[in-house]
Amino acid sequence: MAKHTEIPLGLKVVEKEPLDAKTKVQTLAEAQELAFNGYTCFVVELNKRIEFKEVNGELLHFDFGGYSHPATHPASMIEEEPDKRFLTDGERSKLSNIESNANNYQHPIKHDPSIIEQNSTNRFVSDIEKANWNDKYNRNEIDNKLTAVFEELDWKEAVDNFEDLAITYPLPQNGWTVYVRNLAKKFTWNGVEWAQTSGGEIPLATSSVDGLMSKHDKQKVDNIEENANHYVHPSTHSPSIIAQDSNNRFVSDAEKNEWHSKAAGTHTHNDATTSTSGMMSASDKQKLNGVQENANRYVHPSTHSPSIIAQDSNNRFVSDAEKNEWNSKAAGTHTHTNYVAKTGDSMTGPLTATKSVGTPVLKGINGFQSTAGLAGVCGETTSAGIGYLGVFLNNIRAGVMGVIGDYSSAPETLWAGYFEGRTKVNGNLAVGDVIPDTYELDVVGSVHASGNFFADSDKRLKKRVRPIKGALSLVKKIRGVRFLWRKSGKEDIGIIAQEIEKVLPEVVSTNSKGFKSLNYSVLTAVLIEAINEQQKQIEKLMKLMEGK
């Protein structure tokens, strides 16, 4: 006899006599794959026998011998009402993350860093620090990557349940690993079946693949600025927090009242008088313009004290004694006897200059007159180079020149030697106690010039011009040092010639005694190229940082 049982949905299901199960399966999912109307089986994971029946076109399963309400319904069976609507996953996720009393506040795109209060757990970092940290893996990423390496896993996007594995990945490859959400487990395809695996259970989510959070949540998190909060901008501000500048200033009520009380932009003023303030008349303005700044009512005295007169090269005071001495001298036009004229006269024999006391300081030298074109002036000795002057005539070397004078304490107008006009030295020139056998000019001590030193650098004088390669590497091999000169004991800074010779031998010179010198000026070219190389590296790094 058939029995009838009322079920909650108002459907009537005819209960038949118990049937022997046609099969035994391990999981409900496996039974659903084999199910058809009237199919019964024993499910191990449920530890009971179930029966499948078609209700309103849908195949449902029941406890054998009675109705079991399905765990889920398709959305199409649910009738929505005005105050009862379905939400999408995205809407539900968005709604769950909205705080109570949230409003539609539009946070400014940028904040001045100065208004952010930092503390021990919230600090600003530089772009370089962020780039360094972003280039590192966190612990979870390292764990997942190590798991993927050791287990040869290839993570794929998660699915909702086990049955979705076959639908989403119909042709899996070895190592493909998928997280099943409703089972909270991961499964890996081993070539035969999807086998449950352990270790590194859930990968980190990305904007396109689910992981520890959904990809939708990851997209939302990526769009939230660091340290963002549920900030509500106040309707008013205390004036103390407003940053004023040259175009935006607060004014007080008193200032506003004072400005409002002033005259309009266009108004009239009366001219001033000797007793009443007002505008200045045109004649007074002309008079005022003719008065210099800080003018006073000065009356120049009829005489001055000599001490207030500023003397110069053309205006000097002289004493009465000086005037008397000059007045006692010969007149501008007078006569001399026994003299040699400046031009047109000639003489033979020695020319002797004498003075009443001491040794003569000027005389001719008969003994050297046999050399063609020789003219000489000598002091107390005729030794070559000691007060001896010789000249060239008809391309014949007639002598040498030496000038010795006491200039150590002499005034600026006295010199041991003086040349006016162009002077040529055909040979090496030494200044100081040194023999100029290597360099055209050899100086002991420092050289000073009120102008600049120029060296030939015209392109027309050069050939095989090429860039200096690896200039930055060359500079890194050069060191600057502090030192004391052995001879003078003076503190100085510079470069050791023997060290730079190994890097740039072109800038080092060695004299006849083996001592080395350095051409500091040409190092400028190497430094310029090194700066250019370094600038290119800096610009490259800046582009990489901007692309992050």
CATH code of the domain covering residue 512? 1.10.10.10
Residue 291 lies in a domain: no
Residue 229 lies in a domain: no
Q: Where among 168, 187, 222 does a domain terminate?
A: 222
Instruction: Work out the average pLDDT over 296-306.
Output: 82
Which residues does 366 contact at the CB level (< 8 Å), separation at least 6?
A: 350
Q: What DSSP letter does each residue of 408-440 carry, written as one string?
A: SS--TT--S----S-----S-EEESS---SSSS
Task: Please give the pLDDT value at position 476.
Answer: 93
Residues 536 and 445 in one domain: yes
Residues 445 and 536 in one domain: yes
Lowest mean pLDDT among 3-12, 445-454, 492-501: 3-12
Task: Please give the pLDDT value at position 387.
Answer: 40
**Long-range pairs of 373-377 with CB within 8 A, sequence gap ≥ 24:** 373/398, 374/398, 374/399
Residue 460 lies in a domain: yes
Which residues does 14 contact at the CB level (< 8 Å), separation at least 6?
A: 2, 3, 4
Judged against a pLDDT cut of 80, whether residue 8 lies above it is answered with no
Judged against a pLDDT cut of 80, whether residue 242 lies above it is answered with yes
Mean pLDDT of the chain, nearest integer: 75
Instruction: Work out the average pLDDT over 77-85.
Output: 74
- The domain of 518 spans 441-542
Instruction: Return the bridge partners of 50, or none.
Output: 41, 63
Lowest mean pLDDT among 25-29, 148-152, 357-361: 357-361
Tell me how far apart the alpha carbons of residues 186 and 196 are, in angstroms, rounded to a whole number: 6
Judged against a pLDDT cut of 90, whether residue 309 lies above it is answered with no
Residues 535 and 452 in one domain: yes
Please write the tens of the pLDDT for every residue from 190-230.
989 999 886 545 666 777 776 666 677 778 888 888 777 77
Residue 483 lies in a domain: yes
Instruction: Work out the average pLDDT over 393-401.
Output: 43
Task: Please give the pLDDT value at position 528.
Answer: 95
Please write the tens of the pLDDT for every residue from 534-544.
999 999 999 99
Residues 529 and 464 in one domain: yes
Residue with the larger pLDDT of the pair 437 and 253:
253
Angstrom CA distances, 332 to 326, 328, 336, stand at: 11, 12, 12
Residues 463 and 537 in one domain: yes
Give the total number of structural domains in the chain: 3
Residues 538 and 448 in one domain: yes
Phi-psi region of 101 (alpha: psi -120 to 50; beta: other; left: phi over 0): left
Q: Where among 75, 92, 109 does a domain terminate?
A: 75
Tell me how far apart the alpha carbons of residues 100 and 96 are, in angstroms, rounded to a whole number: 10
Judged against a pLDDT cut of 90, whether residue 308 lies above it is answered with no
Q: Where among 222, 247, 274 does a domain terminate?
A: 222
